[in-house]
Structure 1
Amino acid sequence: MEKLLAKGLKISHLRLADALAREAQLSGAAISMGIAQPAASRLASEAERIIGAPLYTRAGRGIELTSEGLALARRATRILREIQDAGREISEIKSGLTGTVSIGSVTGPAIEHVLPAIRQARISLPNVQIEIEVGTSDTLGPMLLDGHIDFSLARLPSGADPASFGMTNVGKEPLSLVARHAHPVFHRPEYDPNTAVAMADLLDYDWVMPSAGAILRNTVTQALARAGYPAPERVLSTSSFLLVLATISQTNAVAPIATSVAQAFTTQARDGADQSDASGLIQVIKTDIDLEVEDYGLMTRAGSVLTPAAQSVLRVLCDGMGISTPRL
């Protein structure tokens, strides 16, 4: 870094490298930086002279970063994010404990841990605004590295370098199969809520799951295989939890979801009520195999320093989960 600084590397060069990685066009990078394209070209030439290698090559109507350009862009993004975080921290120090904290989470822990933490933070940290990003681990990992979220409850993204993250293990995430109250499986003469439903019977119905390769789907298909069952033949693939709920509440499809989420959205029909009037409600199906996703954890960017507001929210979250707050 000192050699690059001695050669004249400036923040403007880092901003350009970051913009080129995001836009894949010199003109787009110039627009995002608020400068003219000739000025962006001059910055690119200066950066190439400083690093001693081309930043990019032409590719169709856009550009493709070289290996050296990608290396500079990755570091530039992190450096710029750290500078932005420094600005946030200084503002928080000047104005007291205020600011915005962004939390990422996969669905189950979002319901089980993040929501209770937010309720507590509203009392103990009234001037801190909290944003939640719920998604898959593969989505949240890059967002964490890019600084779009401060920390997350997730798993290591597929293909990611573990050294890029700090991680405190929290535990496994049990899954439940759910369907609407009016689903035929609950209305068979032999149905007993205390007895497991044979998985073979459930495979006759449509299933709603994430796309192939997703951790939840892999967990289900592998558990089925270990128990001697084939994978479901008819699957609606979606990452939208709202679409999952809408589908199972209006059709005879079944879906695996986090048990904590199932408990939050399951509503038992009143005793004596007509089950056909409860078609929009979901119910857990007791099955003859156990479903459990691999361990998830509290994830941070390796080497990052959280702002005071983010550290305070992190403490609330960790206290609620009964784990020690990582030192950052």
Structure 2
Amino acid sequence: MTLANSDRFVRTHLKTRHMVLLVELGRHGSILHAAEAANLTQPAASKLLSELEYALGVQLFERRARGIVPTWYGEVMIRRAGAALAEMDAAHQEVMELLAGLSGRVSIGAVMAPSTSLLPEAVTLLKSRHARLHVAITVETSKILLQRLRAGELDMMIGRVLDSDSAGELNFEPLTDEPHHLIARSGHPLASRSDLSMEDLARASWIMPPSGSILRDRLTSMFLSKGLDQPAETVETASLPVITSLLARSDMIVPLPQQVVEPYLKFGELAVLPFDLGLRMDVYGIITRRQHRLAPGAQAMLDTLREVAAKVPHAA
């Protein structure tokens, strides 16, 4: 589609209800349920979808017995429609903020380590300056946060850019990397061992990060490179409250950045096992969307993050 044709498509064919329907179709995988969520009848939703496919000249969804599945073209349209709607929400929010002074809402995501240190400090400082600004925080893996950022559901995130496909859409301001240590309860049977081996660790009970995460993949590679099977006794979670509760009640071990559990180490509730995993995660940083102007509240959050990060001695 040429630039002129693209402009004609947006001005002549594309309407807000098309974008709302696309987003709901992506969420529900069903024309009926998407129509209900978009306050449309099913025939009206089917007609809107047909209009879009006709205007674009491509099939956006495959119709199957149990619903619909987006094609590659459909995935692009769903993602872009979500971002466009988020832009309009942000425009409305910005206008309201300008009318009422700096207030409104900023949505930020973070991976675990900065969510326990950098982010709380930045939010505290931000709220001391702009008490009416509402901050919504999501703690997740970089993969999930990137999906939400690209869809316009987050204003910014602290994490990692995982692939070259999305790198062109994003700004990345590096902060620091994450050396991981093995953490266990104080008094754990392995805590007093000076001769720990990978074989010992493979027989231990582990709290593992979610499947598909970078850390999980690197742990798998670590065991396989030593010719060892994966630990047989595992619990999978990324929730810090669950992790610390499990550690306190069992002999499980978990790989974590030390700063995440620093208060527990300080008061002697947890301990670092005497074994060097040699495991460092890639550098994480502040990530925003290129060519996207932040609302005043979100810009204030970004400026405060940069201010706090600049004071951290090990920040990149």
TM-score (norm 1): 0.84
- Cα pair 1:197 1:288 within 8 Å, conserved: no
Query: Alignment partner for residue 62 of structure 1, among 44, 51, 67?
Result: 67
Matches within 5 A, 1:222-261: 222=221, 230=228, 232-234=230-232, 235-261=234-260
Write the mapping of 1:145-294 to structure 2, written as runs, cut at 5 A.
145-157=150-162, 161-186=166-191, 188=192, 200-222=199-221, 230=228, 232-234=230-232, 235-269=234-268, 281-294=269-282
> C-alpha offsets along residues 22-60 of structure 1, whole Å, 9 cap, x if unaligned?
222111121111122222223223323322344433211
| Corresponding position of 2:305 | 317
User: Gapped runs of 5+ residues in structure 1?
Assistant: 270-280, 324-328
Partner of 1:272: none
1-structure distance, mates of 2:21, 2:211: 36
- 1:21 matched to 2:26? The reply is yes
Do structure 1's residue 101 and structure 2's residue 106 form an aligned pair?
Answer: yes
User: 2: distance between equivalents of 1:10 and 1:46?
Assistant: 11
Q: Separation in 2 of the partners of 1:215 and 1:49? A: 40
Please give the secondary structure, in 1, of the residue aligned with 2:33: helix
Query: Which residue number corresponds to residue 41 of structure 2?
Result: 36
- Cα distance, 1:225 vs. partner? 6.6
Report the residue type matching 2:99 in the other structure: K
Whether the 8 Å CA contact 1:175–1:259 is kept in 2: the answer is: yes
Corresponding letter in the other structure for 1:141 = L
Q: Which runs of 5+ in 2 are unaligned?
A: 1-5, 312-316
Percent identical across equivalent pairs? 29
SS in 2 for 1:266: helix
Tell me the alpha carbon deviations over residues 61-95 of structure 1, each in whole angstroms, 9 at most, x when there is no partner: 31233444333333222211111111111111111
Deviations, residues 192-249 of structure 1 (Å, cap 9, x unaligned): xxx68555544442121114442223334555677x5846523333233333222221
Cα distance in 1, alignment partners of residues 63 and 284 from structure 2:
41
RMSD: 2.5
- Worse overlay, 102-111 or 299-308: 299-308
**8 A Cα contact 1:267 1:283, kept in partner:** no
**Aligned equivalents of 1:212 and 1:231: distance in 2?**
16
Deviates more, 1:162-171 or 1:69-78: 69-78
Work out the number of aligned pairs and report it: 305
Alpha-carbon distance between aligned partners in 2 of 1:147 and 1:196, rounded to the nearest angstrom: 50
> 8 Å contact 2:25–2:31 — kept in the other structure?
yes
Cα distance in 1, alignment partners of residues 195 and 19 from structure 2? 59
2:79–2:150: 8 Å Cα contact kept in structure 1? no
Secondary structure, aligned partner of 2:190: helix
